[in-house]
Chains A and B, each alone.
Chain A
Amino acid sequence: MGQGAFGFIKTTGGKRMIEIQNLTKRYGQIKAVTNLNFSVEKGEILGFLGPNGAGKSTTMNIITGYIPSTEGTVKVCGYDIMEEPQEVKKRIGYLPEQPPVYMDLTVNEYLDFVADLKMVDKKKKRAQISEIMDLVKIGDHKNRLIKNLSKGYKQRVGLAQALVGNPEVLILDEPTVGLDPKQIIEIRRLIKALGREHTIILSSHILPEVSAVCERVVIINKGEIAAVDTPENLSRGFNSASKLSATIAGPKSSVLSAIREIYGVKYADVNMEKDKETINYIIESDKEIDIRKPLFFAMARLGYPIIELKSMDMTLEDIFLHIVTQEKEVM
Chain B
Amino acid sequence: MWAVYRKELRSYFYSPIAYVLIGLFILLTSIFFFLGNLASRVADFSGIVGTMGFILVFIIPVLTMRILAEDRKNGTEVLLLTSPSRLSGIVIGKFLAAFTVFLILTVLTFVYPVIIVLLGGKITAQLVGSYIGFILLGASFISVGVFASSITENQVVAVIVGFVSLLVMWIIDSLAGFIGGFAGKVLSWFSLLSRYEDFNKGILSLSPIVYYISFTAVFIFITIQMIEKRRWSQG
Contact = CB atoms under 8 A, between A and B. Distances in A.
A116 B6 contact: yes
A86 B75 contact: no
A113 B5 CA distance: 10
B97 to A, nearest CB: 13
B10 interface: yes
A116 B2 contact: yes
Interface stretch (B83-91, B135-143, B187-195, B206-214): B83-91
A150 to B, nearest CB: 17
B213 to A, nearest CB: 27
Contacts of A114: 79, 83
B78 A66 contact: yes
A231 interface: no
Given A86-B84, A118-B84, A103 B74 contact: yes
Contacts of A104: 11, 14-15
A104 B82 CA distance: 21
Contact of A102 (B74, B81, B83): B74
Interface string B1-31: 0111011001100110000000000000000
Contacts of B75: 96, 98-100
B115 interface: no
A198 B45 CA distance: 63
A119 interface: yes
Nearest to A92: B82
A118 B7 contact: no
Given A113-B3, A117-B4, A105 B81 contact: no
Interface string A247-269: 00000000000000000000000
Contacts of A98: 74-75
Interface in B72-112: 74-86
B61 to A, nearest CB: 20
B235 interface: yes
B235 A100 contact: no
Given A27-B235, A96-B75, A102-B74, A117 B80 contact: yes
Given A102-B7, A113-B7, A68 B232 contact: yes
A102 B235 contact: no
Q: DSSP majority for the B interface?
A: helix
B235 A58 contact: yes
Contact of B85 (A58, A94, A119): A119
Contacts of B231: 66-68
Contacts of A116: 2-3, 6-7
Interface residues of B, number: 27
Contact of B83 (A27, A58, A117): A117
Contacts of B83: 89, 114, 117-118
A109 interface: yes
A65 interface: yes
A105 to B, nearest CB: 7
A161 B79 contact: yes
A184 interface: no
Interface string A79-114: 000000010011010101011111111000100011
A285 interface: no
A215 B190 CA distance: 60
A194 interface: no
B7 A89 contact: no
Given A67-B231, A89-B84, A100 B79 contact: yes
Interface in A257-316: none
B76 A101 contact: yes
Residue in A86, A113, A114 with the greatest tally of chain B CB atoms within 10 Å = A113
Contacts of A119: 84-85
Contact of B86 (A61, A86, A109): A86
A113 B232 CA distance: 27
B205 interface: no
A103 B3 CA distance: 17
Interface in A148-180: 161
A32 interface: yes
A102 B2 contact: no
B78 A96 contact: yes
A64 B82 contact: yes
A65 B78 CA distance: 9
Contacts of A94: 78-79, 82
B166 to A, nearest CB: 26
Closest 3 CB pairs of A and B: A116-B3, A100-B79, A98-B75
Interface of B: 2-4, 6-7, 10-11, 14-15, 74-86, 231-235
Given A67-B234, A101-B76, 18 more contacts: A27-B233, A27-B235, A65-B81, A89-B84, A92-B82, A94-B78, A98-B74, A100-B75, A101-B74, A102-B7, A102-B76, A103-B74, A105-B11, A113-B7, A114-B83, A116-B2, A116-B3, A118-B84
